[in-house]
Each structure stands twice: as structure tokens, then as C-alpha cells.
Amino acid sequence: MTERIDTRLIHGGVDGDPRTGAVNVPIYQTSTYRQPRLGHNLGYEYSRTGNPTREALEKLIAELEEGVAGFAFASGMAAIGAVLSLYKSGDRILISSNVYGGTFRILDKVFKNFGIGYGIIDTTDLSEVERSITPDVKAILIESPANPLMSVTDIAAVAALTKKHGIHTIVDNTFMTPYLQRPVALGADVVVHSATKYLGGHSDLVAGLAVVNDKELAERLHFIQNATGGILQPFDSFLLIRGIKTLGVRMDRHVRNAEAVAEHLSKHPAVSRVYYPGLKSDPGYEVNRRQAPNGGAMISFELKEGYDHRVFLSSTKMIALAESLGGVESLLCHPASMTHASIPKDIRDRVGITEGLIRLSVGIENEDDIIEDLERAFKASRRA
Ligand SMILES: *Cc1c(COP(=O)(O)O)cnc(C)c1O
């Protein structure tokens, strides 16, 4: 394994093709493999079980996240669904009070029907975490910074608590990526990704990844991946490997732009609150600094009374109003009606996902162009 993360992004996993010298891993677009004789194969039998292109990606993400094994899925939700399938009827999973809406939905509408329960807690409050670990709780699933209020959870502290109780810490590391934050090194057992976002990085594919830090979990998750079948296809695996190669340079630019935009918004007369753990004034700043070098590139903010969020969201020229995040282009989103619409309104209100909340995925365009476009929307949205 190469030492430094920015080099590992490019040369980690399977570096090229030893047979031909091609610098890229070939796309093995095949469903099956010739078996030389009965009962023998060359390491592959059927592409749901294993495919060399997908395997290269799986080795790469395992190395980047410093885990034992990686698994690639057709989407982030397929990865999360596979990980939740590690548990059984009677078990309960605790989740952060502001996780991705789909994570809440799969627990509330799918796994609950199979007897796997869930509880919503404030994972930024460690005493609440400790109090909530009852004997039926088998895992805590956290995001840090969490979607969409960018609240920061102390990953090492939560992992220490779950270790004490012999249960798992699962971290959705989509917002930070292994370039900025490596939960396994902080004690997490499982890391999941919507690779659709920063890892892919170009808004041109949907993919999910999971990494585990122990052999037994790896065997169980591979069994589930093969049994349930939500695998990533060879071409998409290739695209994702290609995306990950530039993750370092993209993230550096994403973060530089985000810091400038957050600074601008925090002094803005139209903005009542900025949620960004890279700002010194943010309540999560100190804890985030212990587990990541910066605050990432996702910002949420709230408009003041005198500004109309509906008008704001339709008044930018360059920045699109769209679901998703982490692509090279800046995107705006309205969590209450888009990414988090599947969370009931009373829960949204309780955790602070208000009607006026706007989420911005800061892209890698010129920072002045991003700020000018936001200014256009602020001007247009001012109520008379
Ligand atoms: C998008 C997202 C997911 C879901 O991933 P898909 O690739 O859309 O299935 C999960 N977690 C987070 C934090 C996300 O942003």
C-alpha cells in the first residue's frame, strides 16, 4: 500500500493491468467465466459473485478507508441496505437525528417490516448516545457532518462507546470522503458511501460502496452482496475508479471554494444562519477539526424573514436546483421538499430542517462566479 492518501487515490487497489501493461484496469464486461475443468476456475465464476473491474474498485476503497475489505453496489442505498441486512429481527439500529432521508426511509418503511427497529438520537450528545444503547441496539449509524444541518459527531467517542457494548459503529462518509476523513482509523466498524457524490465526482453515475474493518464482517457482507445481488456493473466500476483518481485535487478546490462561500454567507445581511463546520463559529468546529483537516464543501444556510426561499431557489443562473451533491458543478437543494421529504414534518421541525433551509454543494467553478450567482438570487428573493 502506498503511504499517502493523495497518491493512494491514483495507484491504490489494482494499479493498471499486469497482463498488457495498460495503465488502467480494463472493463471486464462479462457475466461469466470459462471453467477449465469441472470444479476449477480462474478465480471468477459469475459476475454477481465477483468481477475483476469491480474487484479493483473494491480493493481501492478498502485501501483508501483503511479497512479489511470493500464492496461495490448499484447505489448508496443498495450499500446501506446490504449493511443493514447484517442485522436480524429484534435488533435495533440507532441513527443520527439528521441523516440522509433515504437512510431514514429504508429503516422506517423496509427494515421495520422485517422486525429490525430503529431509534433517532442526537449523536452529537455523547451522554444521549450512551443512555440510548439498550440491549437490543446492535449498531449506531452516523453521518459527520450530517445531512443537511452539518452537525458534527465525535466518531472516535461513539466508536469507543459501541466497542464497550460489543456493537457496531457504521459511518456514512459520503460528505467527507476518505480523502478528508477515515472513520475506520477512528474506530468505526463499517463505512458506507454514496459514491454517486464526491467519489464519482461528475454527476454521471449512481454507485455505492461499503468497507468493513474485520474479516468476519467481510465474509458476511460478501455473502449478502452475492445473495441479494445489488452489485455495481463493470463499466460503472471503471467510471468510479476514474473519478477517484482526481478526488484529491477536486476536494482541495471544493473546500477552498466552500470556505470562501461560507465566509461570505456568514457576513451576509440576507442570511440568518450558516451551517458549516469549517467556520470557527460553528458548534461542530472543534470536534470536526480532530477528525478531518477542514469542514468539507457542503454548506446549509437559512434566509432571513425578508427573503423568499422559493424565489431564491429559482433565481440562480449557473447553479442548478437539483438533488445530489459532490459533483464538479455547484448545486442548490431544498432539503424539506427534496432530499429529506421522506422524513415526517414533525421530525423535520424538531431537528431543524425548516422550510427556509437551503443546502449548497459547492462545486469547483471559479469562486467569484459562485458568489455572484448567489448574489443574483439574494437580490431577486428580497421581499418588497
Ligand atoms: C445520496 C446519499 C445517499 C444515498 O445514495 P444513492 O447513491 O443516492 O443511493 C446516502 N447517504 C448520503 C449522505 C447521501 O448523500
Which residues span the domain enclosing 107?
Answer: 5-245
In this prediction, residue 1 carries a pLDDT of 54
Considering the domain architecture, whether residues 20 and 73 belong to the same structural domain is answered as yes
Is the CB of 282 inside a 6 Å radius of any atom of ligand 1?
A: no
Give the dihedral sign, CA 55/59/64/65.
positive
In this prediction, residue 28 carries a pLDDT of 97
- Of 245, 260, 285, the last residue of a domain is 245
Considering the domain architecture, whether residues 108 and 236 belong to the same structural domain is answered as yes
Considering the domain architecture, whether residues 326 and 225 belong to the same structural domain is answered as no
Considering the domain architecture, whether residues 184 and 110 belong to the same structural domain is answered as yes
Domain tally, the chain = 2
User: CATH number, domain at 52?
Assistant: 3.40.640.10
Does the annotation count 100 as an active-site position?
Answer: yes
Contact between 244 and 173 under an 8 Å Cβ cutoff? The reply is no
Considering the domain architecture, whether residues 241 and 277 belong to the same structural domain is answered as no
Considering the domain architecture, whether residues 224 and 333 belong to the same structural domain is answered as no
- Of 191, 217, 245, the last residue of a domain is 245
Point out the ligand 1 atom lying closest to the alpha carbon of residue 195: 7
Considering the domain architecture, whether residues 230 and 275 belong to the same structural domain is answered as no
CA of residue 39 to ligand 1 center, whole Å? 40
Considering the domain architecture, whether residues 233 and 95 belong to the same structural domain is answered as yes
Residues of the chain below pLDDT 50: none
In this prediction, residue 365 carries a pLDDT of 98
Considering the domain architecture, whether residues 16 and 43 belong to the same structural domain is answered as yes
In this prediction, residue 2 carries a pLDDT of 56
Nearest to 203 by CA among 369, 358, 324: 324
Model pTM greater than 0.95?
Answer: yes
Q: What is the pLDDT of residues 193-244, one digit of tens each?
A: 999 999 999 999 999 999 999 999 999 999 999 999 999 999 999 999 999 9
Contact between 335 and 300 under an 8 Å Cβ cutoff? The reply is yes
Element (H, E) at 358: strand 357-361
Which residues have CB under 8 Å from 125's CB, separation 6+?
none
- Of 192, 219, 245, the last residue of a domain is 245
Three-state secondary structure string covering 166-217: CCEEEEECCCCHHHHCCHHHHCCCEEEEECCCCCCCCCCCCCEEEEECCHHH
